[in-house]
Amino acid sequence: MALVKCENLTKAFSTPNGEEIAVDGIDLTIDDNSFATILGPSGCGKTTLLRLIAGLETPTSGEIYYDSVRVTDKRPQDRNISMVFQQVALFPFYTIRENIQYGLKYVSDLSSAEQNEKVEEMAKILDIHELLDKKPGQLSGGQRQRAALGRALVREPDVFLLDEPMSDLDEKLKVAMRSELKKIHQQFPITKGYVTHDQEEALTLSDEIILMNDGKVVQQSSPGEIYQEPNNVFVAQFIGNHEINLIDGTPENGQISTPAFDIDVPEQLAQSIASEATDGVTLGIRPLDVQVVDDPSDALFTVTMQFFEHMGDSLLVHAETPSLSDIVRFTIPEVAEPMDGEQYHLTFELDDVFVFDQQSGE
Please give the residue ranges that form the binding site for ligand ADP (CB under 6 A): 13, 15, 20, 22, 40, 42-48
Evaluated on CA atoms 229, 230, 236, 239, the torsion sign reads: negative
Taking the complex as a whole, the smallest distance from the CB of residue 168 to ligand ADP amounts, in Å, to 15
Taking the least distance from each CB to ligand ADP, the nearer of 14 and 108 is 14
Beta-carbon contacts of 13 under 8 Å, excluding residues fewer than 6 positions away, are: 19, 20, 22
Taking the complex as a whole, the smallest distance from the CB of residue 64 to Mg ion amounts, in Å, to 19
Give the 3-state secondary structure of residue 54.
helix
Taking the complex as a whole, the smallest distance from the CB of residue 38 to ligand ADP amounts, in Å, to 8
Taking the least distance from each CB to Mg ion, the nearer of 76 and 338 is 76
Taking the least distance from each CB to Mg ion, the nearer of 47 and 220 is 47
- Which part of the chain contacts Mg ion (CB under 5 A), choosing from 44-52, 200-208, 222-230, 306-314? 44-52
**Residue 287, contacted partner among Mg ion, ligand ADP, none, CB below 5-8 A by kind:** none
Taking the least distance from each CB to Mg ion, the nearer of 38 and 353 is 38
**Residue 43, contacted partner among ligand ADP, Mg ion, none, CB below 5-8 A by kind:** ligand ADP
- CA-CA distance, 319 to 343, in Å (whole number)? 9
Taking the complex as a whole, the smallest distance from the CB of residue 127 to ligand ADP amounts, in Å, to 30
**Residue 48, contacted partner among Mg ion, ligand ADP, none, CB below 5-8 A by kind:** ligand ADP
Taking the least distance from each CB to Mg ion, the nearer of 47 and 258 is 47
- CA-CA distance, 246 to 358, in Å (whole number)? 11
- CA-CA distance, 126 to 205, in Å (whole number)? 18
- CA-CA distance, 220 to 283, in Å (whole number)? 22
Binding positions for Mg ion, 270-289, rule CB under 5 A: none
- CA-CA distance, 361 to 150, in Å (whole number)? 43
- Which part of the chain contacts Mg ion (CB under 5 A), choosing from 46-54, 98-106, 300-308, 340-348? 46-54
Evaluated on CA atoms 133, 137, 138, 142, the torsion sign reads: positive
95 contacts Mg ion (rule: CB under 5 A): no
Taking the least distance from each CB to Mg ion, the nearer of 44 and 346 is 44
Could you tell me if 155 and 78 are in contact, meaning their C-beta atoms sit under 8 angstroms apart? no
Question: Could you please report the per-residue DSSP string of 57-118?
Answer: S--SEEEEEETTEE-TT--GGGTTEEEE-SS----TTS-HHHHHHHTTTTSTT--HHHHHHH
47 contacts Mg ion (rule: CB under 5 A): yes
Binding positions for Mg ion, 300-339, rule CB under 5 A: none
Give the 3-state secondary structure of residue 26.
strand
196 contacts Mg ion (rule: CB under 5 A): no
- CA-CA distance, 21 to 169, in Å (whole number)? 30
Residues that bind Mg ion (CB under 5 A): 47
